[in-house]
Amino acid sequence: MTNYFETKRIEVRYDRVLAVSNVSIHMQEGETIALIGANGSGKTSTLRAITGLTAISAGEIWFDGRRIDKMPSDAIVQAGVTMVPEGRHVFPLMSVKDNLLMGAFLRRDKAAVQETMQRVFTLFPRLKERLNQAAGTMSGGEQQMMVIGRALMAKPRLLILDEPSLGVAPLFVQEIARAIVNINKNEKVSVILVEQNSRMALRISTRAYVMSIGRVVVNDQSRRLLLDDRVQKAYLGEELQPIEDVGEGDDKGKLD
């Protein structure tokens, strides 16, 4: 079976510093996969390579039968790959509505854009309540919902999320986790999730890759990694807010 998305032994360098080495990940259409690991393990550099923000120095990246590592970042977005970067990049003086519409700037069908916005409101009802509010006046959790909604306005086929729970209150973490499950299962969007909250990431993904010092060191089904002693000791020993009733990844991913 041909992989829907795949990186083949990619390498990322910043000048002479090797940030990502020999990283191969793959997914089938409709999966949610997670990348977990400590700070500095190469997760964000991998995402930047996938989205064309950082050039790879070796390897290949493929999406839906097309090689994309030679494409500019805007062409990668047009191909259906959209990333929500770490840090909640909002336009603070613009309304929630206008922030959302910025995600649809490449789309020309106004009726379809409005339909997508209604689906975003279904996922995040509080955004509809704050439609005319300046984005900069919302809480961190609300802003994170908005930037995820803005990414969905581009109608992605592959959504990449970099640390969506970072700096977000536990109540909003629960809502964001549920939204990711719904985006994958109900909106039929494949998801790559990078998360420091490793327990959450493993609970809502199908498979996961554990990264350390720029390499993939473990690759398995997420439900198995939750029970893996190595992963528990390294990444799941911290006190984390439990993720309740958000759904769990299924077994449709293949083991490597």
Per-residue pLDDT tens for 115-143? 999 999 999 999 999 999 999 999 999 99
Residue 242 above 60 pLDDT? no
Q: Which of 72-76, 78-82, 220-224, 244-248 has the lowest mean pLDDT?
A: 244-248
CB atoms within 10 A of CB 16: 5
Per-residue pLDDT tens for 91-104? 999 999 999 999 99
E-strand stretches of the chain: 5-14, 17-27, 32-36, 58-63, 66-67, 81-84, 158-162, 190-194, 207-212, 215-221
CATH classification number, 5-235, choose in 3.50.50.60, 3.40.50.300, 3.40.30.10, 3.90.1150.110:
3.40.50.300
**Strand, coil or helix: what is 200?**
helix
pLDDT band at 167 (very low <50, low <70, confident <90, very high): confident
Contacts of 11 (CB under 8 A, 6+ apart): 18, 20, 21, 22, 23, 56, 57, 58, 59
Quick one: tokens of 7? 């990186």
CA distance 63 to 76: 9
Region 216-222 average pLDDT: 94
Per-residue pLDDT, 104: 92
Q: Structure pTM?
A: 0.89
Contacts of 51 (CB under 8 A, 6+ apart): 73, 76, 77, 81, 83, 160
Query: Diameter of the chain by CA atoms?
Result: 51
CA distance 241 to 144: 18
